[in-house]
Structure formats: structure tokens, C-alpha cells
Structure 1
Amino acid sequence: MVTMWQAFINFWKGYVKFTGRSTRAEFWWMRLWSSIIFIIWLILFIIALASDASLISKVDKYSQPNVQGIENWKLLTELLSAPFTIIVVMLGILLALAMFLPNIALTIRRYRDAGTVTWAAWVVWVLSLFSRSDRIYSNGSMQITFMIGGIFVLIGCILSVLPSDTLTGTGFIGRKPEEKFVFKEEINDSSDDEL
């Protein structure tokens, strides 16, 4: 079984490695790492806002209903005068950008470990993106798109909890049985089937 620290190391080693496989343990340990990193960043952000307390009062002053265009520039100037907040926000943006591609690669590797063919893993991942924007568009024609995206999020969640090679040999989305162990060459202990 992959340990929490080994999952973190594998995540960064396979930065843009879309081939291969990732076990359930590796996938979920990295989800835990991502949550821990986000919580630490959120705490830093709250501390930054508290330390730049003058920023909060200035934002309140400029967020009145009758804000003119010139006052928006003043607000931007005030936001730029909060150095700790800017540093923490930039750190968050850099972390999000640094983790974007490895998260996609980890997800695709996990779907492939469940037994899907590569194209099916990509289709599930891409279509699950449509559920992320339901707050931006709320008209009736877009609701069907978001419902389909939500269904693919559910399918992705199910694929992420399936044991290794569960879908191998099943229909057109499963790998052929003779390809069962093709992608396990680089993982030390790649089987969670003992659970």
C-alpha cells in the first residue's frame, strides 16, 4: 500500500505523466494532501486579511451602492497597498497553477487503474468539467449541460473508488483482459485489492 508521503512524492514525480496507473491509496492520499494545503493557505489568507485590517475598512468604504468608476481605481490602489495579502494571494495562485496539471494526470491515471481505456478516462474527466459553472449560467438551456456534467462527476467519483482492474474486459470502456498489467511497471505496491 502506498503511504501518504510516497503518494505526495509520486504526485510530483508524475507531474505530467498521463500514462501509467495510480492506486486508490495514492489518489486519495493526494486528495488529503490537497485539502491540507488548501486549509493552510486559507489560514494564511485569514491572517493576512487580519494583519491588513485597514484593508477591510477601506473595502467596506468603497463597496457602497453608489460606487463611481474613479472610486474603483482607489479601491484597487488600496488593495495593492496590502502587501501580506498580495503575497498570500499570489502564493495561492502559484500553488493552484503548479498543482493543475499533476491533478489532471493523477485523475486520468486513477481512472485507467480502475480498468478504463484511455479515451474513456479523458471523456469522463472533460465532461465532468461542465458541472463546475452552474452558478455562472442559470438559464434553462444550460441546465441540461450541467446535469450531464454532474452525472460525469458522479461517474468519476465511482471510478476513483473502484479497485484496480475492475472494469478490465467489460464492454467498450474497459481495457482488454490481456492489457490488464500493462501499466503497473513503475508502481512499487500498486494493488489495493487486498483491502
Structure 2
Amino acid sequence: MNENQRVGMFRALQLFFKNYANFTGRSKRSEYWWMFLWNLIVGVVAIVAVIGVLATVGFAFNPSHIPGSVFGALLGVIVVVFIVGLAVLVPSIALAARRYRDAGISPWWLLVTMLLANILSASDQFINGSMSNTLVMIGGVLGIVHLVICALKSKPEEA
């Protein structure tokens, strides 16, 4: 891709799925952040769909009874969200690896900034007390480090 060529919203979506499992090469900041926005939009739509299903029967006000049709609709929304999440998992990791390389950082750092961050952030499910809070905080900091790396300017390619 040309050094000065900008990637728009729909071109980023196209490149995201075209490079589904391409962990080599580089990706511009605009490509990463447009896909970040796409994923955010899809996530908000999913949350609104879940809230909409629950609100249609007043579940928020009477959680003791969920009619079968609402349960089915809610389960359907959750299954779709799960499938979409699985469908974008590999290309999201591949895009992050390319973005790290473009910023001059080894893609192996993804293991720390994404995998370890997610493990530590979920540690409160398994560990109680102040240690859990500390691990969750470290996971959050690693997540911020990931976002900072993805925001770095592109480094010139080495010959």
C-alpha cells in the first residue's frame, strides 16, 4: 500500500476481511482505527438489541419471569453476537499484529498486551481480595499500552 494512501471506513472493512489471517505485512493507523470503530458500532448494536429484547417485556422491572418467546429472542441475539465475535477474532488479532509491525513493535508483544491483559482482567472471577484488584488494574494498564502502540506513527520500512 502506498505510504501516503489513506484508508477509508469501507476500504478498512474490505481489507479486514481480505487479510483475514494475514499476520505478515503492515497496516496503517487509519485501517486499525476504522475497524475499531466498526467493532464498536457492532458492539453497541448488539447491546441495544439485548436491551431492546429485555425492555419489550419489562424484564428490567420484573426479572423474576422471562416468557419463553423473549428467552428465545434473547438467546438468538446472544448466539449471533457470539458467532460474529468468533468471526472477527482471527482478523482482529492479525490486524493488530500488522499494526504493531507498522509501528515498529514486535507483534509478539500482543501476547502481553492482549492475551495477558485479558487473563489478568478476568482474574477477579477466580481470585478474591486486593490481589484481584491489582491484577485487574495491571490488565487494564496493559490494555491501554496496546491502544497506545496502535496509535503510534508508522515507522519507515527497513530495506
TM-score category by the smaller chain?
0.7 to 0.9
- Tell me, yes or no, if structure 1 residue 32 matches structure 2 residue 21: no
Q: Are 1:131 and 1:153, in contact at CA under 8 Å, matched by a contact in 2? A: no
Unaligned runs of 5+ in 1: 63-74, 169-179, 183-195
Mapped to 2, the partners of 1:131 and 1:148 lie a distance apart of 7
> Which blocks of at least 5 consecutive residues in structure 2 are unaligned?
1-5
Deviations 1:122-144 (A, max 9, x none): 43333322442254234234444
So what's the TM-score if we normalise by structure 2? 0.78
Partner of 1:95 in structure 2?
Answer: 84
SS state at 1:120 partner: helix
1:14 corresponds in structure 2 to 19
Please name the residue that 1:106 is paired with: 95
Distance 2:114 2:13 in 1: 22
CA displacement, residues 69-94 of structure 1 (integer Å, 9 cap, x when unaligned): xxxxxx7xx55763322221211111
Q: Can you list the C-alpha shifts for 1:87-137, whole angstroms capped at 9, x where unaligned? A: 212111111111222211111211111001233344333332244225423
Aligned residues: 153
Check conservation: 1:128, 1:152, Cα contact below 8 A: yes
For 1:120, the equivalent position in structure 2 comes to: 109
Q: Percent identity?
A: 30
Contact 1:108 1:125 in 2 (8 A): no
1:22-76, Cα deviation, whole Å (9 max, x unpaired): 110000000110111112222222232234x17x28x6336xxxxxxxxxxxx7x
Tell me the distance in 2 between the aligned counterparts of 1:61 and 1:12.
42
Following the alignment from structure 1 to structure 2, what is the Cα–Cα distance between the partners of residues 35 and 102? 15
CA distance in 1, matches of 2:110, 2:75: 37
1:156 is the counterpart of 2:159: no
Change in CA separation of 1:145 and 1:13 when aligned onto 2, cut-off 3 Å? same
